[in-house]
A and B are shown apart, each in its own frame.
Chain A
Amino acid sequence: MALTLFKEGAKSRCDTYGFLAGIFRQELTAQQIKEMINSGVLDMLTELGAKIDRNFFNKPAEQVEEALAIEYTALFIGPGKHINPHESIYVPDSTGKVGYYWGECTADMKKWVEHYGLKMSEKFESIPDHISIELEFMQRVIEQEHLSWQRNDEETAKRCIEVEKTFFNKHIIKWVPLFLNRVIDSASLDFYRETAKIGKDFISDEGNLLNEETAGVTDTN
């Protein structure tokens, strides 16, 4: 039963992590904003319950891009009070120290990325525990799970689920909900606030899926 949930949901879960990673990675370009409106992404967001003022998006793309970029900078980059998108700012290290860059969790995150045969893109200069990297890591693993299901390789799919679960519990759950809450509280534009809400619900659902539906799937020991 639980396996079916994973098998059927893998593609959607994979894409959702990818979507959220993309949204929080950097400012959206004017072209991306246009595509978001034209391809129906915005409509679908509204359908899912996001309260987004469409008038805002009816403005010229450059203006929207500018407004969203300002919001992105204010929210995630600073200067001044902002919501830092790195795990080590939120999660204390083994000595209890918290709130600094390149903490223990950052080093651990680097190991996860490299251990699984991934490498940090040279184009993207960030610290490995950036929200978008953690979300993209999940996307990558679930992508492998999805591919395994497609070739009926249940063993590897289960192994992926095991990795997803461990990584999710070790990193994502420790701080992503907290981060998204702060975005929800601080965002002045609908777009980031509503996307963060969707993200928050998704992460909570992921927690349930990975921790409650995996009995007999991954607990082989």
Chain B
Amino acid sequence: MAIKEISRRDIFKLGALSALALTGMKLNKAEAVTLMGDMDALQWGFKDISPETRKERKAVPSACWQCVTRDGIVAYVEDGRLVKIEGNPKLPRTNGVLCSKGQAGMNQVYDPDRMLHPVKRVGSRGSGQWKRISWDEAKKEVVGLMKKLKVEGHPEKFAFWYGRMKDSTSHYVKGYFMAAYGSGTTAGHTSICEGDKWVAHELTWGKHYENWDFKNTNMVLNFGSNVMEAHTNHIPVAQRLVEGMAKGAKLYTFDVRLSNTAAKSTEWIPVKPGTDTAIILAMINVIMSGNLYDEKFIKNWTNVTVDQLKDHVKKFTPEWAEKESGAPAKKIKELAIAFAKAKPGVAISYRGLVAHYAGVNNERALITLNAVCGYINIPGGFCQPVGAKWNDPFKKGFKSQHAKVHGKLKIGYGYKDAVAYPTHGVTQDVLGVIKEGKHGRPDVLMTYCINPPYVNGNCQDNINIMKDESIIPHLIAYDVAYSESASISDMILPAANYLERWDAMGHASGDQIHEFFIRQPVVKPLGEAKPITDFVDEIAPEFGIKLPFKNHEELVKAMCNTTKGVKEAGGFDYMLKNGAWYDVNEKPHYHQHEKKLSEKDLAGTKVDEKSGVIYKPDEKHPKPDAKNYVGQMVDGVAYKGFPYDKIDRQTGKIAVYSHPLKKKNWDPMPVYYPIPEHQKMSDGELILTTYKVRTQTHSRTQNCKLLTEDYHTNPALINPKTAATLGIKDGDKIEVSSAIGKIVTKAKVTNAVHPSAISISHHCGHWQYGRYTSGVKPPVEVGANDNDIDLKLKWWTDNGEHPNWIIPNSTDPMGGQQRWMDTVVKVRKV
């Protein structure tokens, strides 16, 4: 080379030369581009300029809803049209960063196939024949049905089944309206997500949910969480995991599949589906037998002794775990030792661990692994979450309006006595339970933001029950999209999109502080779409219900203006402008269980001698229970401990030994429950597992063209070894069949999946939900139109296959979780 390479050291020389040239030679004079002021786009958030017109766009802070994480957003509106969504940098939990789903939120508003008008069916259920009706007609009809039930003394026969309904909307519909109307017949959807995880939390450490303090950790053991792509607190945790890893934290992922999280890990250790718990127990054994445990934590904060634990786990050897899971014993030992020494470390999980038979037990084993190392509520560990505590000034006063006749059909908690602790519902069995009738049958079923035929297992069974008017006489969908569920309802009410409505909100903070944020309408609801809370406002007076606020905006306003901190910052006005508030001086909350109780806290309390639980007895609750828990004695000191949630665990410590499980004849200690179906598999059979990708949620983002262009088809992942024995090549058409049916899809032969599994993502194969995902145009009556020019640009015709047609609704008897990862299938080349 004639010239020596410009190295980084030379950059200063080159810089000096350039500076000289710029001033001396006046090279800057001929500037080709000049500044129009500040470089505005470099200001993060709240400012955006239209590149075409140079006009400043209106910035509206609000919140995402593409997934349950509910990140803070700033939406930009130009001439009344939402044109762009960014993260809200004023909310530390997301640091102003969104995932692709959040950024594609505009597509939800302008989906050419979204529901814009109320419609009523004119043909048979599912015939697709609709008549457009006015909101007045729709209201009259719904109110008529509900009034009849109320007059007959059976308001509980009005059932409300929701998917995503959170924050003040949930409170509005259930806490205010349903309570005053008199029906407690509701069902949620958590058991098709991660219900068993929360049941395990309630059985083990009380309140459900946790925060992984990644940014302060040294080591992460990951059992089946695709945290970099999907999570109920996705961006906050993923961001902090990246931050932690940049500082040197190591991430080890045990997974059936090489997810993007596994790929980004220090190491991926493939495991056979349903066997992670063997590894976890073996790790606890290595830590206990190697005396690497945190003796003080076990003694003070668990309800077992070191000896009890040692004795319990000694049979779970790494060699045994290797036989079960395929993970090398050497690796299990090595990582267990490293984990105990990491100080701090955190062991994490998600559906890979819990969406199985006895998923509750698996998560309990995971909490125990964290507990024996003392990694609970410490920086870098497994922490009780911290979230917003809003004040609702109307709640108390409204109690007088709660209905005198209040009933509840237990349709949301599984078949009679089938599940030990279904505290997060059994959504996949709602239709089956209604059909069986043992818990009574609702006369009117309204669905909101839930799509049972698509999101539950056994699609056909759901469709059959929903279509049967003798089982469900009246079926009403309150929906944003012409979903599979809406398409077989009697009436569809067009819901406002998340960018068109209000909410006072909170979620687990990634930094262990209290963060408050709101959702406010970014644009007016399109067409005749209406927020469900507006619908409530309109129908409540028909039942003599006087809501204490004019509308949802007024409720949010009152909450902002009376909640400590938010109020002082400027209340509602401040929140409208900034979207979020937190105390900049607040320190992260750790060691919450070690908070000492004051005399005031202890007034009128008693201590249960056996457990050391401090409780406040009253007439209704004379003995310690979930209702009167106050704290926990440890060595003569009264601490807050780990408060109860819905289940009475009989201790304010971490219940490694579970009395409630013992009561229901399950092993009270975390053990290994092999998946029953997997024990009797014949040659050639595989285990079907499902997964999520970064650009889609389970079911309700596929109408977003930007996302579905990126991800619209889902070939089945199959290991080359397995494929070879079945004579399958990459790209071959294959039939995957289970006990309940078969689907035909394509094979993707890849080492990214364990040889015992076949893995199919569950975002594809919609048969409704608009043209971008299913190719099917909804009826024009509902609002579908051709005014989106991009419809012509849809280049993909392969919309993928939905695995739920062949996954039965199979419920974990411990906690009610849908067992997504346990289905045994046969695979053959077509």
Contacts and interface: CB of A to CB of B under 8 A. Distances in A.
B41 A16 contact: no
B99 interface: yes
Interface in B49-96: 49, 51, 54, 89, 95
Interface residues of A, number: 71
Interface stretch (B237-245, B339-347, B752-760): B237-245
Given A12-B18, A132-B32, A144 B42 contact: yes
B6 A32 contact: no
Interface in B441-500: none
A45 B54 CA distance: 41
B22 A115 contact: no
Contacts of B95: 220
A22 B30 CA distance: 8
A185 interface: no
Contacts of B26: 31-32, 35
Interface stretch (B9-17, B119-127, B129-137, B219-227): B9-17
Interface in A41-97: 41, 44-45, 47-51
B235 interface: yes
Nearest to A194: B3
A23 B7 CA distance: 21
B33 A120 contact: yes
A121 B42 contact: no
Interface string B31-43: 1111111111111
Contacts of A118: 33-36, 39
27 contacts: A9-B11, A12-B14, A13-B11, A16-B14, A16-B15, A19-B17, A19-B22, A22-B25, A32-B25, A36-B25, A41-B17, A41-B25, A114-B51, A117-B40, A118-B34, A119-B33, A121-B31, A121-B33, A124-B31, A133-B33, A136-B31, A156-B42, A156-B43, A159-B42, A160-B42, A201-B6, A221-B238
Interface in A188-210: 194, 197-198, 201-202, 204-205, 209
Contacts of A117: 35-41, 49
Interface of B: 1-8, 10-22, 24-28, 30-44, 49, 51, 54, 89, 95, 97-99, 235, 238-239, 242-243, 246-247
Nearest to B33: A118
Interface in A108-157: 111, 113-121, 123-124, 126, 130, 132-133, 136-137, 140-141, 144, 155-156
Interface in A24-41: 25-26, 28, 31-32, 35-36, 38-41
A198 B553 CA distance: 61
B753 to A, nearest CB: 26
A178 interface: no
Contacts of A198: 3, 6, 14
Contacts of A25: 27, 30, 32
Counting from the closest, the 6 A-B pairs by CB-CB distance are A12-B15, A22-B27, A216-B246, A39-B24, A19-B18, A15-B18
Given A41-B24, A159-B42, A205-B6, A48 B18 contact: no
Contacts of A49: 2-4
A44 B17 contact: yes
A215 interface: yes
A212 B36 CA distance: 32
Interface of A: 5, 9, 11-16, 18-23, 25-26, 28, 31-32, 35-36, 38-41, 44-45, 47-51, 111, 113-121, 123-124, 126, 130, 132-133, 136-137, 140-141, 144, 155-156, 159-160, 163, 194, 197-198, 201-202, 204-205, 209, 215-216, 219-221
A204 B51 CA distance: 31
Contacts of B235: 221
Contacts of A28: 25
A144 B39 contact: yes
A41 B6 CA distance: 16
B44 A159 contact: yes
Q: In terms of DSSP, what is the predominant structure of the interface of chain A? A: helix
Contacts of A9: 8, 11-12, 15
Contact of B30 (A12, A16, A41, A124): A124
B335 to A, nearest CB: 24
B33 A15 contact: no
Give the one of A14, A115, A221 with max B CB within 10 A. Answer: A221
A141 B18 contact: no
B17 A194 contact: no
Contacts of A116: 39-42
B42 A18 contact: no
A120 B51 CA distance: 13
B3 A115 contact: no
Nearest to A51: B2
A219 B18 CA distance: 30
B246 A48 contact: no
Contacts of B35: 117-118, 140
Contact of A50 (B3, B38, B54, B98): B3
B611 to A, nearest CB: 45
Nearest to A122: B34
Nearest to B29: A22
B33 to A, nearest CB: 5
Contact of B49 (A12, A115, A194, A205): A115
Contacts of B30: 22, 25-26, 123-124
Contact of A48 (B3, B22, B37): B3
B557 to A, nearest CB: 31
Give the one of A25, A40, A116, A132 with max B CB within 10 A. Answer: A116
Give the one of B4, B6, B99 with max A CB within 10 A. Answer: B6
A202 B10 CA distance: 9
A44 B14 CA distance: 8
A30 B11 CA distance: 28
Contacts of A123: 30
A95 to B, nearest CB: 14
Nearest to A201: B6
A39 B22 CA distance: 11
A116 B48 CA distance: 9
Given A119-B36, A221-B99, A197 B2 contact: yes
A219 B264 CA distance: 13
Contact of B41 (A20, A115, A216): A115
A130 B246 contact: no
B38 A44 contact: no
Nearest to B228: A221
B11 A12 contact: yes
Contacts of B8: 5, 9, 205, 209
A48 B19 contact: no
B12 A12 contact: yes
Contacts of A205: 5-8, 11
Given A18-B27, A22-B27, A35-B25, A220 B17 contact: no
A23 B97 contact: no
Given A117-B39, A197-B3, 17 more contacts: A5-B8, A13-B11, A16-B14, A36-B21, A39-B21, A41-B24, A48-B13, A117-B41, A118-B39, A119-B33, A163-B41, A198-B6, A220-B97, A220-B239, A220-B243, A221-B99, A221-B239
Nearest to A159: B44
Give the one of B11, B27, B99, B242 with max A CB within 10 A. Answer: B27
A49 B247 CA distance: 38
A48 B49 CA distance: 42
A22 B22 contact: yes
A159 B51 CA distance: 19
A116 B4 CA distance: 35
A57 B709 CA distance: 58
A41 B21 CA distance: 6
Contacts of A111: 51
A44 B16 contact: yes
A123 B19 CA distance: 23
Contacts of A14: 15
A121 B28 contact: no
Nearest to B243: A216
B166 to A, nearest CB: 23
Contact of A137 (B16, B33, B247): B33
